Structure 1
Amino acid sequence: MLRHMRRSSIKKLRDIIAYFTFKAKHLTERRLAKLIYIAEIYSIEKFGRRLSEIKFFNYYYGPWSPEVDHTEELLSGGDILIGFDTTSHGYDASFFKPNVDKTTISLSDGDKTILDDVLNDWGFKRTPEIIEHAKSTTPCKSSEFGELINFDEYIEECISTVIENDDDIVGGTLDAIEEYKIGFGETFKTKEGILNHLRSL
């Protein structure tokens, strides 16, 4: 199931799962998948980009990921144990648990902030609440049952807000306009020059 993913994407998925597992200690696969999905939404809203390349489908219990569903081939027996147990409501489920005291996780500070925000907002909530929230998000509501959830339109929608709220980008754009008005500055002569300047901020 993970063969279609690039090695870097598999590593990122492993690190996201490890981060959530070591912070939350005892996660069902269903709960984990929803937290990762919500992290995707948070990342889009904060940075205008996806957190990962994980695929999600609109399914019975909201967003479902085949990659998360098949991570036992990537994780079990290493830093994380995946085993079956009974939930507090009497359902059989697969649980993700730390198998060691510490593990190595290679995520950017921005990604860790997103995951921490998700845990702070949703880590203590009951799974049905998390599912309902995930179902209520724009990308999930915009897809039909069984369809791949498309994040692209939501990214486009959020990018303008991200740009408006980023003082560096707004300031850089105003600098570009001022240089253009007074007729100097090779940096801002072309669209590519402006984009390169904004990327460097």
Structure 2
Amino acid sequence: MREIKSLIVYFLKNSSKTLGKTDLMKFLYCFEYYFYQTYGRQYSDLKFIRYKYGPSTPQLDAAVDELRQEEIVNVFSVDLSGGKKFIGHELILNGEIPEYYSLTREAEEIARFIVYKLGNSKYEDVINFAYSTPPMAAVLEEERRLGISLQGRRLELDMSKEIFKMSRERREKARLRMQNRERVRGSDKEYYEEYLKTYMDFENTRRRVRECLN
């Protein structure tokens, strides 16, 4: 549970917008997906299922409840039109976050990437980003093919390859494209590592520029 709570604290501290429950859910899912694709394992024991609004886990509520009891996070609601409510989360710490809730270097790099991608995104963009990942895309394609809802289906974070049914000709073309791509970029793990390294290099350069201007 500590890893999950540490991620929640990081996202609340570093996002430039107030995070609702759906935001936090998708941040956690996207973090674990990219962490798995980069390092071949999960950072926490989070388990996600396909739910009404995409990836979901009951473990979020349990983690937030513990953070509330520890007086680290406050949860509030805002009435919206149509009888809907926005459930927001905010840090209420005075001073530094306890060392207990710090992330490992690997986890912080992925979490920083997620904040960079989603930390100021609109609600719909966060949803679309989560829906575009192969685990969710595979479930959506199967729902389309079967004509039924698969709510409750476990999302497998190790999924990273082509998910759609293809003709033999299209499969062969896709195989050749993948071979060419692998020769250029290496394995999926290497691809994500390089993708994150490029982002981190960009962040380091931007930080140095800011330091020179101040």
The TM-score by the shorter chain falls in which range? 0.5 to 0.7
What does residue 155 of structure 2 align with? 149
User: Deviation at 1:165?
Assistant: 8.1
Q: Contact (CA 8 Å) 1:62, 1:132: kept in 2 or not? A: no
Q: Write the distance in 2 (CA, Å) between the matches of 1:89 and 1:134.
A: 25
Gaps (5+ residues) in structure 1? 1-9, 168-201
What does residue 80 of structure 1 align with? 73
Q: 2:110 aligns with which of 94, 111, 114?
A: 114
Secondary structure at 1:52's aligned position in 2? coil
Q: Provide the TM-score with structure 1 as the length reference.
A: 0.67
User: Deviation at 1:88?
Assistant: 9.6
What does residue 39 of structure 2 align with? 47
Rate the CA distance shift 1:166–1:135 in 2: closer, same or farther, 3 A: closer
User: Deviation at 1:103?
Assistant: 1.3
| 1:17 equivalenced with 2:17 (yes/no) | no
Q: What does the per-residue CA deviation read over 1:129-185, in whole Å, with 9 as the maximum and x for residues that have no partner?
A: 111121121011223332111224449xxx943258879xxxxxxxxxxxxxxxxxx
Question: Which one-letter code corresponds to 1:48 in the other structure?
Answer: G
Q: 2:22 aligns with which of 15, 30, 48?
A: 30
Q: Write the distance in 2 (CA, Å) between the matches of 1:93 and 1:32.
A: 13
Q: What does the per-residue CA deviation read over 1:82-119, in whole Å, with 9 as the maximum and x for residues that have no partner?
A: 12224699841221101113312231111011111111
User: Deviation at 1:72?
Assistant: 3.6
Q: Provide the TM-score with structure 2 as the length reference.
A: 0.64
In the comparison of the two structures, how many residue pairs are matched?
156
| 1:96 equivalenced with 2:89 (yes/no) | yes
Rate the CA distance shift 1:134–1:76 in 2: closer, same or farther, 3 A: same
Q: Contact (CA 8 Å) 2:38, 2:192: kept in 1 or not? A: no
Question: Which one-letter code corresponds to 1:111 in the other structure?
Answer: A
Rate the CA distance shift 1:147–1:166 in 2: closer, same or farther, 3 A: closer
Q: Contact (CA 8 Å) 2:38, 2:193: kept in 1 or not? A: no
**Paired-residue identity, %:** 23
Q: 1:133 aligns with which of 118, 129, 132?
A: 129
Secondary structure at 1:51's aligned position in 2? coil
Secondary structure at 1:95's aligned position in 2? strand
Q: 2:189 aligns with which of 158, 162, 179?
A: 162
Q: Write the distance in 2 (CA, Å) between the matches of 1:132 and 1:121.
A: 12
Rate the CA distance shift 1:165–1:91 in 2: closer, same or farther, 3 A: closer
Secondary structure at 1:146's aligned position in 2? coil
Query: Which structure is larger by alpha-carbon Rg, 1 or 2?
Result: 1
User: Deviation at 1:46?
Assistant: 2.2
User: Deviation at 1:44?
Assistant: 2.2
